Amino acid sequence: MGFQRFKPAAFSKTATRDLSDPDLDPAVRAELEYTLRKVRKIFRKALHCQTRGRDENAWCDDVVRPMVRLALRLYAKGKLCIQSVYFYPTRPT
């Protein structure tokens, strides 16, 4: 992984996307701050997994699952959730 720059427009679809704008709606500001905080945390965990050679389970727990949760929170608005669907076969009795 290398250094990556993100444009502020990547985090919101609103007309005002700069957190330093004093006219930014407080609700939009809170959403942008939350999203940026989560993305930074996920990026740090991904960097840790990459540099430490962590296994697939660590990547899933530290990077993939938080990304999916963030996407669901931002776009699904509570209509979807993560659920384990592991199938336990039954034994014949």
Mean pLDDT by 10 residues, the chain (93 residues): 66 61 82 89 93 91 91 81 71 64
What is the number of structural domains in the chain? Answer: 1
Contact (CB, 8 A) for 63 and 39: no
Q: Do the domain assignments include residue 37?
A: yes
pLDDT recorded at residue 10: 65
pLDDT of 62 reads 93
pLDDT at 28: 81
For residue 86, is it within any domain?
no
Instruction: Give pLDDT, residue 32.
Output: 84
Is 18 part of a structural domain of the chain? no
Range of the domain at 28: 24-76
Whether residue 19 is contained in a domain is answered as: no
User: What does pTM read for this prediction?
Assistant: 0.64
pLDDT of residue 14: 58
CA separation for the pair 43, 37 (Å, rounded): 10
Residue 89 is assigned to a structural domain of this protein? no
